Chain A
Amino acid sequence: MTPALGRALILLALLLSTVGSTVAFASGRRPTAAGLRWTRRFAYAFAAAIAAANAVMLYALLAHDFSVSYVAHVGSRAVPTWVSFVSLWSSLEGSILFWGLVLGAYVAAATWALRDDHPEYMPYATGVWLATAAFFCFLLAGPAQPFATQSPVPADGPGPNPLLQNHVLMAIHPPCLYLGYVGMTIPFGLACAALLAGRLGHGFLRPLRTWLLLPWIFLTMAVVLGGWWAYEVLGWGGYWAWDPVENASLLPWLTATAALHSALLSERKGVLKGWTVTLVLGSFLLTILGTFMTRSGVFNSVHSFTQSAIGPTILAFLAAATIFSVLLLALRIDRLAPEGQLVNGPGRDALFLLNNLVFVLFTFTVLIGTVFPLVVEAVNGAQMSVGRPYFDRMAVPLGAALLFLMGVGPALPWGRATSEQVRRALLPPTGAGLGLAGLGFLLGARSPWTLLTLFFGGYTAYVTFVELWLPVRQRMRSGEGIVEAFAEAQLRRGRRRFGGYVVHAGATIVIVSIAVSSTMGVSKEVQLREGERFDLGAYSLTFVKAESVAEPHRNAVVARVGVSRNGRELGEMTPRMNQYDSQREPIGTPAVRTFLTEDLYLSVMNIDPERGTLGLLAMINPMVGWIWIATGIMALGGVIALVPQRTAAASRPAPLAVPAASGAAAEGSR
């Protein structure tokens, strides 16, 4: 009964999205009011059908209805309710179903938000969204069917992959990633619509940027939450391993970030429209590539879903979407004529271009590193992995360059700056840069790249602070109080600009924290007997006892480690080794204690409760906690920039030439 209902809803969603897409494209060619209306109705109806299918699956999971094949594969009566809930996306078929839910929500929201605007673009955009939706419904109807009837009905199921039950972050990271990945469909549709319509007017760049920014916020959080999860669960003390699937989440983030900057230039100066559209298309295609990487079994990774037959289907879609995009670009890019021109020579324009160049370079670096092992294997059959050294060597200079540009760009005026202006803009922050690098040196930083990153970090922090402060100060000079001036200058008028600089502030902290945490950590591996103590930095660690704990779905051996810092008792930390019934290898769970400037990180390497011995990996990881905090700041900045501004200024073109650094006047820039 339940499986049949679920299958019916998926077929309905497939039908609605296919017909809706056809109607939408037809009404794009010959626009009528009725065509537009029906296009919107189909979009809402598809969203409702796929949401209902998800509701049925959720009900089946929570009610342990093992007649549904997906529930029989991932459900279990033994797991807590929240695990049953997250099982919706923990395995292949469910994750595609959930993908459909997110896509439906995005399509419905975007259709509703843009219902009264841009009739010349919207049918095409909706057509592209629904065509994408039709593909995912097709996956659910055929190759990745979650609602197959399970016969005979088992009494209980195995439960989801234990690694996914190990930490509550696993309930947050995947939905965030889907909200980022799937959300890229919306700007993709808008960009395709611009190409299909053969123009990209100033007014349409605004929704394009808004709907690009929304998934970008989720993707930013998802990339970092993935790292946080690895750090808290996998126990090797790091947060990023350049695993193919981590790279898959980073790739669209890089192009989307580049697109946000280039869209700003398009909106402001009417230039680089074709380039902006290309980056948006690329971001979407990279999300599909990422989906292929996680689900085809071609890439070996901790994240991989089990091998399945849907690889070829996704690859076919990826190929079709990519070829469609390239052809569309080639046919129509010349129609997106620039309305202004970029200014040569030193100035913010040039820095924007440089920023885009570095982001694209970064994208290709990661893409090549990820795909290269496949090329080698296809050519001569050797298995190899590119591994960290390549990525680190390439990513460190690129990250430092981005940090530097983030400082220099906003400091320079738009257009072409005179050498006097350049000197005045670029010299003062140097002091802040040298200050931070000097502080790092005093605290023990010796790696040249770390010192350089600290210098750039101080530089950029100074510039960002000035840009955040200037508009407020200008209002305060005319007699407003600080709170009033801040509210007026940053929140009411320059909200997008303000949000942008908040993102920059967060990004600066993230890059500096990564540089510091990856070069200035201390670690020690020790073998201890019960009662033994050892020192690491300011900490003194005592192995109190090893205890066996039996839990419903796993057995664990917990190491109780007493911790004191500079002689002050801090209680016990309990890293552990979990043995799940369904897994051969035990899975360690580290214990992490976060302080303002560093983490104390304990991970069990081996433990024997009978003999009372413990092999412990203890690390001091400086500034890691700041990566998580600063990512929150980045997301907050994104949200600030996202909230629509009430002023009408947005609808008219911004003036082409704006005097240097007169921040408050630069409405809508960032």
Chain B
Amino acid sequence: MNRRVLVAGALVVLPLLAVLVMNLGRDPHSIRSPLIGRPAPPFELRPVGGGGPRSLASLRGKPVVLNFWATWCMPCLEEHAALTAGARRYEPGVQFLGIVYDDEEARATSFLKQRGSSYPSLMDEGGRTAIVYGVAGVPETYFIDASGKVVSKYAGPLSPEVLAALVREAGGAS
């Protein structure tokens, strides 16, 4: 046994393997946002298809899944089924909210009529809410806990599994 080779090999190899193991569960889509751990920026927006404005403040006490989307975005279409099913599954413990990003209300209405929806989507006139949240592209989803703090942010289409994991992290039990 050549101890020097063993020690040198271990010194190179073990830290590398350790780093890889520690990063295994990592998903490059779950992006850190400066908002994480801070109170979610408040908003009060009008739902698609009419009705009184909805505010984030009125949902305090419940975890919120806030999904920025648009009809022109293919990945949004991809994740739509997962979100619709998720909203039904976690009702009424978790509130799902869509925010339409850079799109026309008429298109959003017909999209939701065609594809079905189980939670309200809100119109973000002028994209102010998206700017406050720092949305870089759609789809992007923010998970907010019952105390109104942002717990995580996910960029890209959500799968049912990832959605379930992130809802759980935000304190929403199934």
Contacts and interface: CB of A to CB of B under 8 A. Distances in A.
Interface of A: 274, 292, 296-300, 304, 307, 311-312, 315, 318-319, 322-323, 325-327, 329-331, 333-334, 367, 371, 374-375, 377-378, 381-383, 582-584
Contact of A378 (B10, B23, B31, B73): B23
Interface string B20-59: 1111101110011000000000000000000000000000
Contacts of B9: 325-326, 329-330
B13 A326 contact: yes
Interface in B1-25: 1-3, 5-6, 9-10, 13, 16-17, 19-24
B1 A315 contact: no
A367 B31 CA distance: 24
A299 B26 CA distance: 9
Contacts of B120: none
A383 B36 CA distance: 13
Given A297-B28, A383-B32, A318 B17 contact: yes
Which 9 residue pairs of A and B lie closest in terms of their CB atoms, listed nearest first?
Answer: A300-B28, A326-B9, A330-B6, A378-B22, A330-B5, A374-B23, A298-B23, A584-B74, A322-B13
Nearest to B77: A584
Contacts of B73: 584
Contacts of B171: none
A59 B105 CA distance: 47
Contacts of A378: 19, 22-23
A330 to B, nearest CB: 4
B20 A377 contact: no
Contact of A312 (B24, B28, B72, B74): B24
A478 to B, nearest CB: 50
24 contacts: A297-B28, A298-B24, A300-B28, A319-B17, A322-B13, A326-B6, A326-B9, A327-B6, A329-B9, A330-B5, A331-B1, A367-B16, A371-B16, A374-B19, A374-B22, A374-B23, A374-B26, A375-B19, A377-B26, A381-B32, A383-B31, A582-B74, A583-B74, A584-B72
Nearest to A367: B16
A119 B157 CA distance: 55
A308 B9 CA distance: 30
B75 interface: yes
Interface of B: 1-3, 5-6, 9-10, 13, 16-17, 19-24, 26-28, 31-32, 72-75
A76 to B, nearest CB: 16
Contacts of B16: 367, 371
A323 B5 contact: no
Contact of B24 (A311, A327, A381): A311
A367 B15 CA distance: 12
B5 A333 contact: yes
Contacts of A329: 2, 5, 9
A374 B20 contact: yes
A134 to B, nearest CB: 21
Contacts of A299: 28
Contacts of A292: 20
The residue in A298, A375, A381 that gathers the most chain B C-beta atoms within 10 A of its C-beta is A298
Contacts, number: 74
Nearest to A296: B24
A375 B22 CA distance: 9
Contacts of B21: 315, 319
Nearest to B73: A584
A255 to B, nearest CB: 12
By CB atoms of chain A within 10 A, which of B19, B22, B23 has the most?
Answer: B23
Contacts of A298: 20, 23-24, 26, 28
Contacts of A367: 16
A315 B27 CA distance: 16
Nearest to A326: B9
Nearest to A332: B2
Contact of A382 (B5, B22, B24, B32): B32
Nearest to B4: A330
Contacts of B32: 381-383
A64 B1 CA distance: 56
B21 to A, nearest CB: 7
Contacts of B3: 330
Given A330-B9, A333-B2, A584-B75, A307 B27 contact: yes
Most chain A C-beta atoms within 10 Å of own C-beta, residue among B3, B9, B17, B73 = B9
B102 to A, nearest CB: 12
A248 to B, nearest CB: 13
A315 B72 CA distance: 38
A377 B17 contact: no
B19 A297 contact: no
Contacts of A315: 17, 20-21, 24
Contacts of B72: 584
Contacts of A331: 1-2
A327 B27 CA distance: 33
A575 B10 CA distance: 51
B46 to A, nearest CB: 26
Nearest to A581: B74
A374 B3 CA distance: 30
A75 to B, nearest CB: 19
Contacts of B6: 326-327, 330
A383 B72 CA distance: 29
Nearest to B72: A584
Given A318-B17, A584-B72, A330 B28 contact: no
A105 to B, nearest CB: 29
A584 B27 CA distance: 21
A154 B22 CA distance: 39
Nearest to A301: B28
Contacts of A371: 16, 19-20
Nearest to B74: A584
Nearest to A307: B27
A582 B73 CA distance: 10
A485 B3 CA distance: 52
A367 B73 CA distance: 37
Contacts of A582: 74
Nearest to A329: B5
Contacts of A333: 2, 5
Contacts of A375: 19
B119 to A, nearest CB: 23
Contacts of B75: 584
A408 to B, nearest CB: 29
Contacts of B31: 383
B8 to A, nearest CB: 9
Contacts of B20: 292, 298, 315, 318, 371, 374
Determine which residue in A299, A318, A331, A584 has the highest number of CB atoms from chain B within 10 A of its CB, and name it.
A584
Contacts of A382: 32
Contacts of A274: 5
A297 B27 contact: yes
A562 B10 CA distance: 60
